[in-house]
Amino acid sequence: MTALLEIRIVSPVLIGVFCAVSLVALGYLLWRPGRGRWLLHAAVAFGLGAVLALVVSVLADATGMFGITLPWQVKTWASAGLGATAVAVANLWDSRWRRRVIALISAVVFLLTTTLGINAHFGLNATLANFLHIQIDKPIVIPTASPGAWDPDVPLSQSWQPPSDMPASGKQGTVSIPATKSGFAARQAGLYIPPAGLTANPPLLPLVILMMGQPGDPDPQYIAATLDAAAAKNKGLAPYVLVVDQLGDPTRDPACADSPMYGNVETYVTQDVVDFARTLPVIPRAQDWIIAGYSNGGGCAFTYAAKHPDIWGNLLSISGEIVPGSEHPDETIADVYGGSEAAYKASQPMSILASGAVAYPNEWALFTAGENDPGYVAQAQTGAAAAAAAGWDAQSYIVPGAGHVVDALEGGLAEGFARLYPRLGLAPS
Q: What is the per-residue pLDDT across 282-320, written as a single tens digit (0 to 9) for each?
A: 999 999 999 999 999 999 999 999 999 999 999 999 999
pTM score, two decimals? 0.88
Which residue segment(s) compose the domain that 276 sits in? 134-424
Regarding whether 326 and 243 lie in a shared domain, the answer is: yes
What is the 3-class SS of the chain, one letter each residue? CHHHHCCECCCHHHHHHHHHHHHHHHHHHHCCCCCCCHHHHHHHHHHHHHHHHHHHHHHHHHHCCCCCCCCHHHHHHHHHHHHHHHHHHHCCCCCCHHHHHHHHHHHHHHHHHHHHHHHHHHCCCCEHHHHHCCCCCCECCCCCCCCCCCCCCCCHHHHCCCCCCCCCCCEEEEECCCCCCCCCCCCCEEEEECHHHHCCCCCCECEEEEECCCCCCCCCHHHHHHHHHHHHCCCCCCCEEEEECCCCCCCCCCCCCEECCCEEHHHHHHHHHHHHHCCCCECCCHHHEEEEEECHHHHHHHHHHHHCCCCCCEEEEECCCCCCCCCCHHHHHHHHCCCCHHHHHHHCHHHHHHHCCCCCCCCEEEEEEECCCHHHHHHHHHHHHHHHHCCCEEEEEEECCCCCCHHHHHHHHHHHHHHHHHHHCCCCC
Rounded to an integer, what is the distance from CA 73 to the centroid of its chain? 19
Residues 84-97: what's their mean pLDDT?
90
Look at residue 282 in the predicted model and tell me its pLDDT: 95
| 128 within domain boundaries | no
Look at residue 148 in the predicted model and tell me its pLDDT: 64
Asked whether 291 and 269 are in contact (CB, 8 A), the reply is no
Regarding whether 202 and 160 lie in a shared domain, the answer is: yes
Q: What is the per-residue pLDDT across 338-374, written as a single tens digit (0 to 9) for each?
A: 888 898 999 999 999 999 899 999 999 999 999 999 9
pLDDT tier for residue 402 given thresholds of 50, 70 and 90: very high
d(CA 384, CA 354): 13
Cβ atoms within 10 Å of 69's Cβ, excluding its own: 18
| 303 within domain boundaries | yes
Cβ atoms within 10 Å of 351's Cβ, excluding its own: 15
Strand partners, 193: 171
Regarding whether 208 and 87 lie in a shared domain, the answer is: no
Regarding whether 226 and 342 lie in a shared domain, the answer is: yes
Regarding whether 96 and 218 lie in a shared domain, the answer is: no
CATH number at residue 325: 3.40.50.1820
Number of domains, the chain:
2
| 127 within domain boundaries | no
Regarding whether 193 and 323 lie in a shared domain, the answer is: yes
| 346 within domain boundaries | yes
Regarding whether 153 and 81 lie in a shared domain, the answer is: no
Question: Which of 61, 90, 122 is a domain's end point?
Answer: 122
Strand partners, 171: 193
Residue 145 pLDDT greater than 80, yes or no: no
d(CA 328, CA 122): 22
| 350 within domain boundaries | yes
Question: Which of 90, 122, 154 is a domain's end point?
Answer: 122
Residues 102-108: what's their mean pLDDT?
95
Q: What is the per-residue pLDDT across 372-384, written as a single tens digit (0 to 9) for each?
A: 999 999 999 999 9
Regarding whether 153 and 242 lie in a shared domain, the answer is: yes
| 129 within domain boundaries | no
Backbone angles phi, psi at 397, to 5 degrees: -145, 135
Taking the alpha carbons at both ends of the chain, their separation in whole angstroms is 47
| 236 within domain boundaries | yes
d(CA 240, CA 283): 10
Residues 395-399: what's their mean pLDDT?
98
Regarding whether 150 and 45 lie in a shared domain, the answer is: no
| 77 within domain boundaries | yes
Regarding whether 148 and 111 lie in a shared domain, the answer is: no
More confident residue, 66 or 329: 329
More confident residue, 234 or 151: 234
Regarding whether 116 and 166 lie in a shared domain, the answer is: no
Regarding whether 159 and 278 lie in a shared domain, the answer is: yes
Question: Which of 67, 99, 122 is a domain's end point?
Answer: 122
Q: Which amino acid is at 393?
A: D
Look at residue 66 in the predicted model and tell me its pLDDT: 72
Strand partners, 173: 191
Residues 417-424: what's their mean pLDDT?
98
Look at residue 149 in the predicted model and tell me its pLDDT: 65
**Which has the minimum average pLDDT: 138-152, 229-243, 331-345, 347-361?**
138-152
